[in-house]
A and B are shown apart, each in its own frame.
Chain A
Amino acid sequence: MEELIQHIINGLNLGAIYALIALGYTMVYGVLQLINFAHSEVYMVGAFASYYGARQFGLSDNPGWASFFIALLISVVTCSILGLLIERFAYRPLRGAPKLNTLITAIGVSLFLQFAGQVVFGADPKVFPEVLRDQPLFTYGEIQVQLFDVTILSVAVAVMFLLNYFIQHTKIGLAIRAVSFSNRSATLMGINVNTIIMVTFVVGSSLAGIGSVLVGLKYPKIDPLMGTLIGLKAFVAAVLGGIGNLPGAVVGGLLMGLSEEMVVGYLSSTYRDALAFGLLILVLLFRPSGLLGQMKVEKV
């Protein structure tokens, strides 16, 4: 029983990370109908930005909430700038082109960042600086709950609520919803679509930046390829919950984390990755709109 509860806690923690990254995917897809493959690489760059920033400013010498927020800030700013650059130079020229071209470009950007990262940062793993000390928050028998785990989970949920409020109850959020509904009509209504898309990318990339610092603290090993698998699984989580749907991303992420944990714990670690894709395929075949999404009817 205790084992099961520990597994559930582990799974929720894993899921919270997927949720954070999935939110980024889902936002961009909602607005541009584009699967931003480069999102996971933006996440990776954020981790390295805080790594270098922390070393530059000696943040790991005084670990604490102040250092943590500075590292977070560095990561968020870097990710936002990178996200903007990608949007401006890789996606915007293809705004009117067939979807396929944009998809291929997204894959190209993702690969480019991965390999450029290997060249610039070096392909060997680095150790993320300890800007915050981890402590066991409470222990019940054999079950341990760590500070980081609680932080990640609460950040993911808080972000979800904040984002939801932002999208549903603010003017910019209204504009974003308008652009995601119809690009052309939004322009006719006087909305500057380019600005809105930039805002979306900034928000999405910032989420990636936050996620990267949290993950860097939890799993201190960072390397240029760290984004690939986690990005793919977060994408599956977004699709699982209904792509374009914010609460769906979080629900999908948590579910992915839980199922992965159960499979690895009770079956075998070998099927860990296959599970992600298996889930993806099942969802797309039987309920393509995801758990919380709505069916879109295609008109001729």
Chain B
Amino acid sequence: MRFSLIILFAVSVLAFGACTKKTNSNEILVGQFGSMTGAEATYGISTDKGVRLAIDAKNAAGGVKGKKIKLITLDNQGKPEEAAAVVKKLITQDGVLAILGEVASTRSLAAAPIAQQHKIPMISPSSTNIKVTQVGDYIFRVCFIDPFQGSVMAKFTHNNLKLKKVAVLKDLKADYSLGLAQFFVAKFKELGGTIVAEQTFQSGDSDFKAQLTQIRGSAPDAIFIPAYYTEVGLIARQARQLGLKAVLLGGDGWDSPKLFEIGQAAVEGGYFSNHYATESNNPATIAFIKNFKAKFNETPDGLAAAGYDAAMVLIAAMEKTTELTSTNIRDELAKTTGFDGATGKITINKDRNADKDAFIVQVTGKALKFIALIGP
């Protein structure tokens, strides 16, 4: 008995030692962390596809400074503490030079301090919560931030759709949802509209009838649901079941092929702000969509485009460095100006956020119809 214990111990320790990977100096190690499994799995999977499209294309063209880029992707299962753990592993165990990730602001916030502490640049493709880049000067993002997104939706609702009474239904568990709701409400009130109701739910809930019944009582013209697609679909259905005819509005969390699958006719006609639109005239966007379709046989969503852009911006920065160190990459990232991305022109400003336009799209069946482009 005691012997087998010792064996068990020894095996574990050995397995441990074997975990430390050997680095190949002919490769550039880049880490990616995302939610490949879990409730928001399509986010991680889409982003990963965009990232891989960029990196594989670059490797096929000869790599950066003659070296191939090796992408190490770890799944955080949609949990913030896993995000922190995998990022720590990527940095200290695998020795990556830079990190790409994450989509959800909560998980980016969990991982960013670790990247900052170890001075490894981290680029988030689509985390929009304002706090993410505030963690430190090694944290970047290639998308717009919630203060902008919230006010874009507020302006669109008030000025374009001409709706004055809006109810808000937000997700208590997501920083993204709370931040976006906060800025929408502030801007909407500033423009003269009224917020007739504010209700909350938690990601993972499946029944929203209680909150929707309360909202119904306040007779809104529109309901702003700044949440992730998994809940939005169900909320939309239940809203229609309760007889609510209000227009549904949301943010980039709606962007997923599953949204229409779950919500069906209930989400039809809903508007949300997104990082890009498939009908854009931008040549970079058109080229990206063409290459993506050739490689993966499907139309890319906003997250894939954002992932692609994040990887491309990183590659561009790596090309510009004299020597490939994390600090140099970081400095070059900060100097990115007018980069032609699939989601538009990317300029990293002094807060390490990107000043970009927001696309307003409408859910029309399985496709998204481009409605408007609103700039900063």
Contacts and interface: CB of A to CB of B under 8 A. Distances in A.
- Physical contact A–B (CB less than 8 Å): yes
Interface of A: 3, 6-7, 10, 13-14, 118, 122-125, 127, 134, 136, 139, 142, 144, 146, 219-221, 223, 226, 229, 260-262, 264-265, 268-270, 272
A146 B238 CA distance: 11
Specify which of B77, B200, B207, B241 lies most central, judged by the most chain A CB atoms within 10 Å of its CB. Answer: B207
B275 interface: no
A123 B39 CA distance: 7
Contacts of B216: 3, 6, 142
Contacts of A146: 241
A219 B206 contact: yes
Contacts of B201: 269
A122 B204 CA distance: 16
A122 B37 contact: yes
B210 A264 contact: yes
Given A144-B243, A269-B200, A127 B210 contact: no
11 contacts: A6-B216, A10-B213, A123-B38, A123-B39, A123-B77, A127-B262, A219-B234, A220-B234, A223-B39, A260-B210, A269-B205
B181 to A, nearest CB: 14
B242 A221 contact: no
Contacts of B211: 264-265, 269
B242 A272 contact: no
Contact of B214 (A3, A14, A270): A3
B230 A125 contact: yes
A270 B77 contact: no
B372 interface: no
B41 interface: yes
Contacts of A269: 172, 199-202, 205, 210-211
Nearest to B214: A265
Contacts of A127: 258, 261-262
A221 B230 CA distance: 8
A3 B217 contact: yes
A52 to B, nearest CB: 16
Contact of A261 (B41, B210, B237, B258): B210
B293 interface: no
Interface in B242-294: 242-243, 258, 261-262
A124 B39 contact: yes
Please list the 6 inter-chain residue pairs (A to B) with the smallest Cβ-Cβ separation, ordered nearest first.
Answer: A124-B41, A265-B210, A264-B210, A123-B37, A10-B209, A219-B206
Interface string B22-55: 0000000000000001111110000000000000
B233 interface: yes
A10 B241 CA distance: 11
A297 to B, nearest CB: 40
B289 to A, nearest CB: 24
B202 A220 contact: no
B243 to A, nearest CB: 5
What is the interface residue range for chain B against chain A? 20 to 34
A227 to B, nearest CB: 12
A228 to B, nearest CB: 9
Contact of B237 (A6, A7, A10, A220): A220
A263 to B, nearest CB: 8
A262 B211 CA distance: 10
Nearest to A130: B264
B200 A14 contact: no
Contacts of B209: 6, 10, 13-14, 261
Contact of B262 (A6, A125, A136, A139): A125
Interface in B188-231: 199-202, 204-207, 209-211, 213-214, 216-217, 230
Contacts of B230: 125, 221
Contact of B200 (A144, A219, A270): A270
B166 to A, nearest CB: 19
A219 B205 CA distance: 10
A264 B199 CA distance: 10
Given A142-B216, A265-B211, A122 B234 contact: no
B207 A3 contact: no
A118 B35 CA distance: 13
A3 B210 CA distance: 10
Contacts of B78: 123
Contacts of B210: 7, 10, 260-262, 264-265, 269
A3 B242 CA distance: 11
Specify which of B77, B206, B216, B243 lies most central, judged by the most chain A CB atoms within 10 Å of its CB. Answer: B206
B57 to A, nearest CB: 27
Contact of B242 (A144, A226, A262, A264): A144
Interface in B124-145: none
Contacts of B243: 139, 142, 144
B41 A122 contact: yes
A275 to B, nearest CB: 12
A7 B206 CA distance: 16
Contacts of B172: 269-270
A221 B241 contact: no
A141 to B, nearest CB: 10
Contacts of A219: 206-207, 234
Contact of A270 (B42, B202, B217, B258): B202
A138 to B, nearest CB: 12
A118 B234 CA distance: 21
